[in-house]
Every structure is written in C-alpha cells, then in structure tokens.
Amino acid sequence: MSYPHQISSRAQYDIAYKTSIEHPEAFWDTVAKNFTWRKKWDKVLDWNFTEPKVTWFGGAKLNITENCLDRHLIANANTPALIWESNDTEEHHRILTYKELHFKVCQFSNVLKNNGVKKGDRVCIYMGMVPELAIAVLACARIGAVHSVIFGGFSAQSIADRLQDAHAEFIITCDGAFRGAKAIALKEVIDDALIACPFVKRTIVLTRTRQPVSMIKGRDVWWEDEVKKVETQGNPDCKAEEMDAEDPLFILYTSGSTGKPKGVVHTCAGYMVWANYTFINTFNYRPGEVFFCTADIGWITGHSYIVYGPLSAGGTSLMFEGIPTFPNAGRFWDIIDKYQVNILYTAPTAIRSLMSFGLGPLQGKSLESLRVLGTVGEPINEEAWHWYNENIGKKKCPIVDTWWQTETGGVMISNMADITPGIPSVASLPMPGILPVIMDEKGEEITTPEASGNLCIKQPWPGIIRTTYGDHERCRTTYFTAYPNLYFTGDGATRDAIGNYRITGRVDDVLNVSGHRIGTAEVENAINMHAGVIESAVVGFPHDIKGQGIYAYVIYAEGAHDHNLVRQDILQTVSRLIGAIAKPDTIQFVSGLPKTRSGKIMRRILRKIAEGETQNLGDTTTLLDPGVVEEILQGKGK
C-alpha cells in the first residue's frame, strides 16, 4: 500500500521533479487533491520574492487537524497515532489511537475555548515531551489559535522575550519535565518569565512530575481540573475552525545572525501539504510503519516529523520523553526493539554521542525492524555515517541525509529512501518543487554543473516561511535581499557534476551546536550583560560530539582575581539569559580583540585560533593592533 502522491521509482522522481519545476501549479494542484478541504483553492500559487509575498492554495478553506485526525477515523480509528515512551523505563508506555487522540484533542480544544482562547490568539507551549504536548499543539490548530512551542531548555528571559514578541496571552506548561535523571522545573521558569509579562491571562499547567509549584489565583489553572469541567459539560466533540489557506498555523522562534531570535511564521495549507509530501516521500513511509523521530517538538523537526507529517499521513509516530543515554546508552536501541520501529530519524550529534560508548550498548539488540534511517540538523561526518550504516542499519537500510531549516518547513534536499542513492555526508538531490542555485561571491549564479558557493532557492515551495512575526521587513532583509529574487538559506554548498548537493555549513554568524541554531550575537549579548564584561566575541570551533562548540573571547574589567570563578559566573549569566544550550565550551580572557581600523571584529582570525591554528591566520595587516593576535595566541588554554 502506498499514497497516491508517493514516488515509487527513480524514473518517477525524475518526472515529478521536472514537472514540479516546469509546471509548479499543475504539480501541486494534483498533490493537494489528496487532502481534506472545506473549500477548494481558487489559485494554486501567487508569489513575488521582492515583498516577499507567497500565497499557496489561495482561497482554500481547511483545518489541518481534520487532515491529521478526523479523516483517519473512518479507516484507521484504531491505528496507533502516537506511541509514547516515558523517560523512566519502569513507567508504562502510552498508545493513543487516532480515535483516542481525536477525542483528547477535541476535549482540550474545548478547554482552550473555556479559558478564553480564540482564533488568531497566540498560545505559548512550554512542556516536556509528553503526549499532552502534541495534544496541546493540535488543539490550538483545531480552534485556529497560533501555537508557539518553546523548547524546554530555554530560560525565563528567553521565554519572556518570545511572549512579548508574539504578545501571547496564554501559556500551556507542565509542573516539571523528566529528562534522564533530572526533573526540570518548567512552571518555575514560566513564573520567572511572567514577572516581565503581566499581559498573560492564563497558564494551564499539566501535572507530570508533581513537584511543588506556585499557582496564582485567577491566572494559573490545572490541566486536569479544566478537562474535568469540559467532561461535565458533556459535549466531547469540538468542531474544527475553518481556516484560510494562508492563516498562520504557528510561530517558531529561531536564531539568526543578529541579536534577537525571530518568529518564523508558517501557514495552514502550504505547510500541511509540504510536511506531508516530504514525510511520505523522503522516508518512503508505508502505512502501518512505526516512525521514530528523536527530536523535541520544541524544534521544527518535531513539528513536522513527530506531529504534522506522520499524523497527516495516518501514520504511527513514536514520541520519546527522555534522552538517548538514560538509563544507559542502549536506550534508543531498546525502544526500537520494543516497538518494532521501522524508521529512525535522528541527528548526527546523537549518533556521535552514542558512538562514543562503543558497541557494548548494542549487545543483544536486534534492530531487525529497521528499514530506513535518517539524519538532520547538521552535516553528518563520514565516520558517523558509516557507524550508523554498519551498526544500526546493518548495511541494509538506506540513510536519508535531510537538509532543511525552520524556515523551509520540511525537507528540501535529501536522497529518498529506496528511490535515490545515499552518499556519505552528501544531502544529494532536491525534493520535487525545490530549485537550488549556487551563487558566487560576486552575487552571480554559478551555472556550471560543478559549483561551490552560497545556497539559494529560486522558486517558492509550499512550506516556505511567510513572514517573521510582527516584522515583515526583517523577513525580507534576512532572506530575500542578499540575492534579488532568491531565498537565501545562509548555508554554503557544493554541487557535483550530476547535481548532488553537499551542505558545507552556515556562512553567516550562526552556530550549529548539537543541531541547534545559536546566533553568535545572541551569546555575545548575554555575555556582555555580565557585570565586569567589557566586550566579547563568540565563534564556533569543531567539536567531536556537538559538531560545533562555542568559543568566547572575553575582555573583562580589571580586578578579576579568580578567572575560574568569573568563568562560572559568565556561564550562569548565559544560562539565565538564553538557556544552558548556549553556554560557551571555552572562555578565554583577553585584553583586546582583533579589529579593523573601522572597528569591525575580525572573526575569521578568532575562528582560526579557536580551531587550533597558530600559523596561517591570514592577512593581519589591516588590523588596528596586530599585537593583539599574538597575545591571544599566547593566552590560549590558560
């Protein structure tokens, strides 16, 4: 069994690709027929990249949850929609069939309505990886509220910034979240964030860890109590709100090269079609298979490939609360055997981390159910690719290396399982609908088959970012002005003679730490907030497990007696302002930074020093004070 819009051979891929580029409207018109619409579109596509303004399926009406839930109730009511594995191996797992998930989503939609949430309102979701997180996301979508999920590792200050930016008046959270041996106090973080956000009207708190929390009268309510109220009201259904194709579905904040994270906005119809199309085609998903994406729903990967992609396909999505190394480094492999997982989608950083434990944790694990493997988030190095292929896939499972971004909504460049070949560390071919181009340093497109430069995309695809919330100009200048009429990805890439793309990494000041995007400016802003710090510069350096580590050069005021203590204080400051994920791996105190005469920090030099280079630092003659470089080299490692 397969899907009508599923590609089943290389020849079909070639035809689909050609049609999608030459006749995008006809191509997506056919694909979109495989969804449930309240009203059909008037026009498939309208676009210009100058404003930018992109409209997919204009005039159509729909609700994404009718596509993710209701339409499966006829044939798949008892098919597992979500399988949930808890952090603790002793706790019983949960399985929610489509019927049960539909019921729970309707129920919670009514809770949201009872609490005053209306279509268009922004709802912030800050929860651990429990099924109620997926339920909350879908309930927002059902009533037309715009969800903005914030990853559980972000700090109170980060949450406050996002709440203010989105003017979100409603929050859904948990008392705490279990992650490995720890219980993280999520509600406490929300409480701290809310000191700066008096406009928040309601916080709905799910019980998970049952650690003590403060519940403020009139503002905070328990999830379970609110569900009981709905039960007594007696109407278990909640009719889905009719949405315009281009109504916002969600906001997801992501880092850029400037200070503040931006709210990437995705809309209902295009995102749905793209998440679904890329899910079934990249992984060659077959109905009935168990799909295990190890990402957190707080990131785009979780949005598209735990929630919307698999559910819109009537698939079975496995959601894991914990971490790969708890209670031991065999946890993923146990989960795969326990639920007979067919497709595993994880990140290179997780693979490298598990590799470091050797083959011991794989002893006694079958992994026979696996058919397809996937990676996402950063370039995968060849060593990790081969380890994954040999020890997890047993050389029988294709590995899809999926390149994409928060802004693209779904996979853009990847081989397709069993359809197009995988090459170690090469993302390979564009998905249908994607026309990549490589630009040289003069801003010209390189038209020769083999090319190396900055990666842009020429035509809109259904899942393209529509705006950055509250600041459309920022969307325009970030993505659409570097190269006129092109979407600029911020990544570098090479293309081989037969059209395979290899992603070489970010070309802007954005780091990729364990597959998470972190702007250097954001980390610098946080470090500079620490009393005593005069100036700082942050760069990335190659890190065995995380892919990239964070290296901070800091000019500190006179009188720092104990550098180690100051380092700890700075780390604490970064944790408070952004979250533990942004803590530098190395802090080097310096008395000056290499700057040009116009005052610009020469990051190129700092990057080389962080990478361990001592000789070939490039041209330093344009520096205001070349002596600074020597001093930094001397001070390294102290």
Contact set with ligand PRX (CB under 6 A): 254, 300-301, 376-379, 401-406, 427, 489-491, 503, 505-506, 512, 517
Query: What whole-number distance in Å separates Cα of residue 487 and Cα of residue 162?
Result: 25
Rounded to a whole number of angstroms, the minimum distance from the CB of residue 378 to ligand PRX is: 5
Looking at beta carbons, which residue is closest to ligand PRX? 406
Q: What is the DSSP secondary structure assignment for residue 72, as one 8-state letter?
A: G
Nearer to ligand PRX, 333 or 345 (CB): 345
Angle between helices 520-528 and 563-577 (to 10 degrees): 120
Instruction: Compute the half-sphere exposure of residue 169: CA atoms within 13 Å on the CB side of its CA.
Output: 11
Residue with token string 């720092």 = 560
Least Cβ distance, residue 375 to ligand PRX (angstroms): 6
Nearer to ligand PRX by Cβ, of 176 and 374: the residue is 374
Burial of 308 (0-12, 13-18, 19+ CB in 10 A): buried
User: Between 465 and 566, whose beta carbon lies closer to ligand PRX?
Assistant: 465
Residue 459 vs 512, nearer CB to ligand PRX: 512
d(CA 389, CA 396): 8
Measured from the CB of residue 299, what is the shortest distance to ligand PRX in angstroms?
Answer: 6
Q: Which is nearer to ligand PRX, 254 or 267 (CB)?
A: 254
Q: Are strands 53-58 and 547-556 parallel, antiparallel or unpaired?
A: unpaired
CA 179 to chain centre: 19
Min CB(427)–ligand PRX separation in Å: 5
Q: Which residue has the tokens 């950055």?
A: 468
**Smallest distance, Å, CB 309 to ligand PRX?**
12
Rounded to a whole number of angstroms, the minimum distance from the CB of residue 404 to ligand PRX is 5
Nearest-approach distance from CB 106 to ligand PRX, in angstroms: 30
Return the number of the residue (3 or 404) whose C-beta is nearest ligand PRX: 404
Residues whose CB is less than 8 angstroms from the CB of residue 569 and which lie 6 or more positions away in sequence, other chains included: 530
Q: Which residues of 377-400 are buried (b: 16+ CB within 10 A; e: fewer)?
A: bbbbbeebbebbbebbbeeebbbb
Least Å distance between CB 152 and ligand PRX?
A: 16
Peptide bond into 52 cis (omega under 30): yes
Q: Which residue in 191, 200, 195, 201 sits closest to 115, CA to CA?
A: 201
Cβ distance to ligand PRX smaller for residue 262 or 530: 262
Task: Please say whether the beta carbons of 200 and 217 come within 8 A.
Answer: no
The conformational region for residue 635 under phi > 0 = left, psi -120 to 50 = alpha, else beta, is alpha
| Helix or strand run (H / E) with residue 222 | strand 220-222
By C-beta, is 78 or 452 nearer to ligand PRX? 452
Nearer to ligand PRX, 20 or 301 (CB): 301
Question: Least distance in Å: CB of 271 to ligand PRX?
Answer: 14
